Structure 1
């Protein structure tokens, strides 16, 4: 049987599966997603912290209720198969609502081609969720150029990808855009930086234009694909490749996935 997507609303302290035929206009305020494979997920506490902090910033004041929602949503997830669940805060009919969306995981890739976005349509670039539709448009434009991902610039400096964080290597030093640039605080990028700390690898921040990345090894990282090597930048800088390092770090990244908390035992 094919995996089926479901959408559940948080109502009265419980998750209620919604009728897939019902169409209600909503505004997405927060979204946090992660790869769930065989009941294992990477950096779930970091996803939880980011979701809770973002939801509170967007107006959900009851921290205890956020915690109950998160725990119920995680408990409802399947422990087998490959999934890409997304937890959401939306505005619906002038009211805030928490939702859990279960989706089959799409095909995963180890490489990606990027192109520079012509503009930056984001309105809240530090939050994950509100700009998803606008970022999807950037990706579609990049796809028309033969790429799969768009690189967003902030005052001419590389700040973020439409769906990924960007990291690059200069020799033995790993670089990231500074948080002073407009970008999401990526859980995947934080995980990679954690690997660097464990290995004693120097990590630094750098404001860099696309041209200044000529000759670097560039990675695009996110919660779905993990670490992907950027093999080409359409009409952009020439990029180097380091398959041995990329494969080794991808393997370390994958091994950090941990089992979901045990589901509560149903009452008899």
Structure 2
């Protein structure tokens, strides 16, 4: 995403267990294996459709909302496999405790046998030419920003609006479509013209009375972990929180925040051919402090 929530590929492959903290792609074999990870090229020629994905930022071993990222990913994985929890535990153990990283977990369809051990779910499809594979992409964090220009998306490409993963490529194309307008994020509207979410972000706007508003939960969208963390902190500080159906013009005179695991909170400085947005000095900085306070240490590696 310009500075993207899904950075481009092309990074070096991981080595074996001795290269646990090098960037790259590795497939998970099984928690029962002596070496649970199989290192592959970053661009896997046998990768199938992306069925589920999740990303979060890790800075010097600290992360925000990891339990929520886990729950969101496992919910997406559950229709295909029942070993997602064991996989996620291995991912957390493999994450670097130093540096600035933006890992991504994936479930993909697989058209060739998957290296696996035993007869459990992780062996599904092994030797049959079909199945799925769980993977970890360990990536350094790309450039982040605190401000962004937004534009109304020309269309809604989402085929799976409640699941992060299957629509990521289509959403990237949507963001690319608004870049000629000078925008870094596309705001998706419902068929009846109501604000839903950003292509790769959740949305919160602040009215002149300081109430924080988010799109009504009846609008199908991916549950944003960063939005959830922010609103929980805001409520604890006595801020009024509202859910509302709103058209872009209803945000005229509001401060719009574009939230994601990568950037945290970005202030929308303008909406191309859209509502007049404001930016009150100090308001976003206070909200960013709440996000920082939500960071917790990763569990110690056994």
Q: Smaller-chain TM-score range?
A: over 0.9
2:278 aligned partner:
240
Q: Tell me the residue number matched to 1:104.
A: 140
The answer to whether 1:230 aligns with 2:268 is yes
Deviation at 1:22, TM superposition (A): 4.4
Q: Structure 2 length normalisation: TM-score? A: 0.83
1:164 correspondence with 2:201 = yes
- Name the SS for the 2:161 alignment partner: coil
Q: Are 2:117 and 1:79 aligned?
A: no
Corresponding residue SS for 1:78: coil
Matching of residues 131-142 of structure 1 within 5 Å: 131-142=167-178
The CA deviation string for residues 54-75 of structure 1, in whole angstroms up to 9 with x for no partner, is 1114x22x1xx21111011111
What is the CA distance between 1:92 and its match in structure 2? 1.4
Asked if 1:89 corresponds to 2:127, the answer is no
User: Aligned partners of 1:20, 1:151: CA distance in 2, in Å?
Assistant: 30
- 1:201 corresponding residue in structure 2: 239
Alignment partner for residue 43 of structure 1, among 65, 69, 76?
65
113, 116, 120: which one aligns with 2:149:
113
* Counterpart secondary structure, 2:277: coil
Contact 1:175–1:205 (8 Å) recurs in 2: yes
Report the equivalent of 1:218.
256
**Structure 1 pair 179–198 and aligned structure 2 pair: CA distance change class (3 A):** same
Structure 1 residue 20, shift from structure 2 partner: 3.6
Q: CA deviation at 1:21?
A: 6.1
**Distance in 2 separating the partners of 1:211 and 1:5:** 43
Between the aligned partners of 1:4 and 1:105, the Cα distance in structure 2 is 13
Distance 1:40 1:194 in 2: 19
Alignment partners' CA distance in 2, 1:24 and 1:249: 43
Partner of 1:251: 289
Partner SS state of residue 282, structure 2:
helix
Distance in 1 of aligned mates of 2:91 and 2:250: 43
Asked if 1 retains the 8 angstrom alpha-carbon contact of 2:230 and 2:290, the reply is: no
Q: TM-score, normalised by structure 1?
A: 0.93
- Extract unaligned runs of 5+ from structure 1: none
Distance 1:96 1:158 in 2: 35
Matches within 5 A, 1:57-72: 57=79, 59-60=80-81, 62=82, 65-72=83-90
Aligned partners of 1:109, 1:20: CA distance in 2, in Å?
26
Of 27-36 and 48-57, the range deviating more from structure 2: 48-57
When the two structures are aligned, how many residues end up with a matched partner? 259
Name 1:31's counterpart in structure 2.
Answer: 53
**Gap regions ≥5 residues in structure 2:** 1-11, 13-20, 112-129
**Change over 3 Å in CA distance of 1:8–1:140 after alignment to 2:** same
Say what the alpha-carbon RMSD is for the aligned residues. 1.5
